[in-house]
Amino acid sequence: MSFQPFVPISSASQISLLPELSSEQSLGSQAWLLKGYALPHAGAIFEAVADALEGSPLRKMSTARGWMSVAQSNCGAYGWVSDRTGYRYATSDPLTGTPWPAMPPVLYQLAVNAAQHVGFGAFDPQACLINYYEPGSRMGLHQDRDEADLKAPIVSVSLGLPAVFQFGGLCRTDPVQKVGLEHGDVLVWGGVDRLRFHGVMTVKSASSPLAHAHRLNLTFRRVT
């Protein structure tokens, strides 16, 4: 699975002049969308992710119900893995048999800062799941509940192609709110919103040849 790094279209100096691009939206009482929060760091994030993927490449994992359409890898002390027997966190990459690449400082710091920005102090993420969507990829409605520490927040960074995120309730059948996620957006959620069902609708290809060709999502979690 190849990873195509891409250059940010706008420069950081242009972005900082547009306060509306870094506004925060509240999605729940403890869930926030930080529009454009990661934009100034997009280039550095792509480089850091490309480095990590040299140690642990992208791969499509299997589940009890079939193959995932999203290609994934991890960096950090723990990585989220799935196979036909279920989901778990592992300290080694089952593909290489070696520990996951270390979490690059630029990724760690971005996650810590974003959590701090909305009031989650002292977030110390141990796992960064790298989700790579090609057009046609999706992530069905699910809860993130494989972590022993459900008190810590989760931070997710979206880059590249836009997607429609589904933000549901605590029951699978609760109505979902649809939220557009764009290049540079960061989501932070925890507390009462930590176990909400969520998913990503099928990613559409870009209409412009100058646009990004894939969607990259980084999800930072405390595991133990």
Residues 83-102 that bind ligand MD3 (CB under 6 A): none
Cβ contacts of 211 within 8 Å, gap of 6 or more: 161
The Cα 145–Cα 76 span in angstroms is 18
Closest chain position to Fe ion (CB)? 144
Return the residue of 37, 49, 126, 144 that touches ligand MD3, per CB under 6 A. Answer: 144
129 near ligand MD3, judged by CB under 6 A = yes
Paired with 92 in beta bridges are 99
203 near ligand MD3, judged by CB under 6 A = no
User: Among positive and negative, which fits the CA dihedral 113, 114, 120, 126?
Assistant: negative
* 156 binds, options ligand MD3, Fe ion, none, Cβ within 5 to 8 A by partner type: ligand MD3
Residue closest to 212 by CA, chosen among 26, 64, 1, 42: 42
144 near Fe ion, judged by CB under 5 A = yes
The Cα 137–Cα 147 span in angstroms is 24
Give the nearer residue to Fe ion in terms of CB position, either 80 or 108.
80
* 35 binds, options ligand MD3, Fe ion, none, Cβ within 5 to 8 A by partner type: none
* 93 binds, options Fe ion, ligand MD3, none, Cβ within 5 to 8 A by partner type: none
Question: In angstroms, what is the minimal distance from the CB of 97 to Fe ion?
Answer: 26
198 near ligand MD3, judged by CB under 6 A = yes
Residues found in the chain: 224
Structure tokens at 104: 């690059």
Cβ contacts of 61 within 8 Å, gap of 6 or more: 67, 68, 72, 81, 82, 83
Structure tokens at 103: 């979490």
Structure tokens at 129: 């799941």
Give the nearer residue to ligand MD3 in terms of CB position, either 48 or 203.
203
Return the residue of 56, 82, 137, 156 that touches ligand MD3, per CB under 6 A. Answer: 156
139 near ligand MD3, judged by CB under 6 A = yes
Give the nearer residue to Fe ion in terms of CB position, either 41 or 196.
196
* 196 binds, options ligand MD3, Fe ion, none, Cβ within 5 to 8 A by partner type: ligand MD3
The Cα 80–Cα 101 span in angstroms is 13
**Residues within the interface to ligand MD3 (CB under 6 A):** 31, 129, 131, 139, 144, 154, 156, 167, 187, 189, 193, 196, 198, 200, 217, 219
